[in-house]
Chains A and B, each alone.
Chain A
Amino acid sequence: MNDRLPHWLRGVLTLEAAYRWRALATDGSDLVVSGATALAVQLRHRVCDEIVCVPAGSLLREPVTVAGMAVASTDDILVNLLWTESGERLADLRQVELRTPLQVEEGLILLAHVRPELSTERVISELSEAAAQLTGDLGEYWAERLPEVAASMAVRGFVRRAVVPRQRGPVHRPALTLGSSGQVWVEPHERDGQPVAGYWRRR
């Protein structure tokens, strides 16, 4: 793997992280890029300054190959984000909810498959503690969202869910794509006073 990294990939990695990526790819590493790094690669929502890798054996879904390295699926990334501590965890989880069809509740179901010994309540409580320290949009988002998540733990009854915006109408978000797909990401926004989730559209 002596080629330069793709332009878009260099855009989401710091110089050091990009150098390490190339070094791992050149060595033919069988590790899988996961966590915050994989999320930055999948969503391209921020610059990542580290390369988080995990062994290939413990994944729920088949990873994709990007520039010589296997990159974990969004399902595996979400599970990883739920049980590992990191400074950007809640910001990254929010981006997962806004930009993909995944939500924390489904992540908790997936987490039970990977780490059955972990208590779901404990994960929610840790997220709540971390969210209590937040301010601004992110703090407001999780202050509204985490009660929904906690209510979803009930085994009966109706749960009102209003925080994660859906697209209006039966127009479906295309699956996330990697590389140059010819599509551009439209950020979540408001239209006619209604929240509209982020989506990909043609240039």
Chain B
Amino acid sequence: MANSAYRGQMDATPEQVARRLGTSRRRVVSAARRLGVGRFDGGWLFSLEDEQALRAELGVDAGGPLPRSQMRVLAELSLRPRGLVSARAVAEACGLAPATASAAVKALLADGFIVVRDGALHADVLHPRWLELRPLLREVRPPDSRGIEAA
């Protein structure tokens, strides 16, 4: 009983963290093992610091009408006034695997969410569905721990 009260006030369960990060419990636990954060006390528990480490490692996905990788790519491109030069650059910027980023870019190009202009990939912010997506895109955060810093 005391344990559950403590859990409710102080620490978060993997399900709670997964819900806040927009991901699955499996990914949260896997990342926790990899980073060595959280504690196992009959079940996984995460402090605020643990959750921040997991947030930096996994990023935040808001869900939405498009797959996670596509939302992440669109979120990044919507903050790049000059676009991104290639699918590989998209992968670096979004913290996605190159193959995943490439597939997401192809799908978004086919749906008209991305356009190629001046040799770079740009988000089409005048797409008819843009206003529906925008609030969701702003909740997306790429992982902090990956990628090469822009010059």
Chain A contact residues, CB within 8 Å of chain B: 60-61, 101-103, 105-106, 108-110, 112-113, 120, 151-161, 166-170, 172-175, 192-194
Contact = CB atoms under 8 A, between A and B. Distances in A.
Contacts of B149: 157-160
B79 A106 contact: yes
The 9 nearest A-B residue pairs measured at CB: A158-B147, A157-B150, A154-B150, A169-B20, A156-B89, A108-B81, A101-B138, A105-B79, A155-B85
B80 interface: yes
A159 B62 CA distance: 19
A60 B126 contact: yes
A157 B62 CA distance: 23
16 contacts: A101-B134, A102-B134, A106-B125, A109-B80, A109-B81, A113-B125, A155-B80, A155-B84, A155-B120, A156-B150, A157-B89, A157-B147, A159-B79, A166-B60, A166-B139, A166-B141
Interface residues of B, number: 44
Given A112-B81, A172-B136, 13 more contacts: A101-B135, A105-B80, A108-B81, A120-B82, A152-B80, A154-B82, A156-B86, A156-B92, A157-B150, A158-B92, A161-B141, A170-B139, A194-B48
Contacts of B126: 60, 113
B97 to A, nearest CB: 14
Contacts of B150: 151-152, 154, 156-159
B19 A169 contact: yes
Nearest to B124: A109
A167 B81 contact: no
B81 A152 contact: yes
Q: Which secondary structure dominates chain A's binding surface?
A: loop
B101 interface: no
Contacts, number: 112
Contacts of A113: 125-126
B135 A173 contact: yes
A157 B76 CA distance: 11
Contacts of A173: 135, 138
A12 B150 CA distance: 41
Nearest to B17: A169
Contact of A155 (B20, B83, B131, B139): B83
A61 B127 CA distance: 11
Contacts of B5: none
Nearest to A73: B131
B84 A156 contact: yes
A194 B51 CA distance: 12
Contacts of A160: 144, 149
B148 interface: yes
A158 B142 contact: yes
Contact of A172 (B48, B86, B139, B151): B139
Contacts of B92: 156-158
